[in-house]
Structure 1
Amino acid sequence: MADLLVLLPLSILGLIGGFLAGLLGIGGGMVLVPFITYILGTQGVAPELAIKMAIATSMATIVFTSLSSVRAHHQHGAVRWDLVKRLAPGIVLGGLLASLGIFALLKGSYLGLFFGLFIGYSALRMFRKPNGKAMRQMPGTAGLVAAGGVIGCLSGLVGAGGAFISVPFMTWCSVPMHNAVATSSALGFPIAVTNVIGFMVAGLHLQGLPPHSLGYIWLPGLAAIATCSVLTAPLGARAAHRLPVAQLKKIFGAILLCLAVYMLYKSLAALSG
């Protein structure tokens, strides 16, 4: 019965996260991490470790949601595969730096603070109107490798697919919004795969892991969320071409602000304790 009580909310999270991944290109991590942190806490996992495992498990789900949502975006011809190929090398380097280096060295509470501030900032951005003015063209190879490195590294530290960095960057460089969201979904795959490998290797010899864990990855959470998210990610991607996404972003921004406050509270409590 206890297993069912854990798997049910995880499955609901998967359905919601998958839809948001397709609709807004966010990979679902912004919603998943606070709830997975809470669920792991109910299973007796220490707060410091729970935050890290939530970030890593959220990132692992993006491997599946990105494949599912990008297929729907590709059918609309919206993915800029030329940009995916040019950004991917930097993403791999940045992801390895985050998952094998910075992530393993930082305390979970500091990562939680960073996550809370990051999603709080991301939430506030959702209330801003885009100015519609592209500032410049895409940089050359070196610039795209550097941009990919920043996207891959920051994504690994917060367990997200990188859309809140890659979408503004691409639109700033004259890429239309629908193309930017679709391309961000495709970038989620190399971001996720690289960081997941690092999370598994970095956490192999950790003490205090819950049952059925592979490094920092919590396999029951991954299985429940990924199975459900792949069902709704294509629905979200199709809805992105039909629904008033600007209005939906404001609603989602309000939810993110609440989650940011929760993560900041939990992280500060862990530090003071």
Structure 2
Amino acid sequence: MSAPTLTKQSPPAPAGRRNLAGPRFRPAESLFRWMLLACLAIGMVFLAALLTYVIVEAWPRLDSRLWTNFPSVRRPENAGAQSAIMGTVWVISFTALFCLPTGIMAAIYLEEYADGERWYNRLIELNIQNLAAVPSIIYGILGLGLLARQFGLGTTVLTAALTLSLLVLPVVVIASREAIRAVPQSIRQASLALGATKWQTVSRQVLPAAVPGMATGSILALSRAIGEAAPVIMLGAVTFVMFNPEGLQSSYTVLPVQIFNWISESRQEFHHLAAAAILMLLAILLLMNTAAIWLRNRYSQRW
């Protein structure tokens, strides 16, 4: 009787060993990546061309007259945008005063106190998500019909601030909720285990940790409001104002409306003014976005 033959088996390959053949080539994936890069390049080229055109047009009027002088119809060489700048400051300041506390408190309620099983809480969440996608012109129509006419507020700084607050309020709520949700549950549980109340946990542990995210979302929401022209045009923002606002019941104009007015003029000097005001508005927006990015990178925490 012959002895059984033993077959030599090769040892198993290590678990982390890479395939020596390399990753498989996928033409569709490479084509899609090149299409994305081409779209990005086209967008950057058009953006650079647009910025170059605006800078060239604005160069003759990039001086102190732009923010020290008031608008003028007869002498465009001496005209400025001081009333539009001050009107923008007034409107955005009261927009922040109205929408930021309301949006942050709504986010705290929905994340920390609201019962997700209740039908009215689910209805609130659904409406907030839907309102974030509503076009800005709809808010202008709402502000004109309800605030300006029904409540008798007129075309004033208060009406514009309330309308823009409604416009950016869903964005503030959603950004604040995401920042609060990013705080780990272990921090809440540890605070409650040490005997703190619910409000002490929220005010002393959750909110300080969520402030960078909430501040970033709030600044980005206000930067959207500062560039909106459609709602304030619907609200009757005056295109030619020779004075600065003096209160909530004062008439006003803002930079987007002033730019629209200068662009519609036929003389080339007004087009230079409009381009200079566009650069000023872009500088303000870039400054606000830079502040938001700095706050996020400086104070954000990794859990």
Q: Structure 2-normalised TM-score?
A: 0.29
* Higher helix proportion (structure 1 or 2): 1
Structure 1 or 2, whichever has the larger Rg, is 2
More contact order relative to length (CA 8 Å, sep ≥ 6): 1
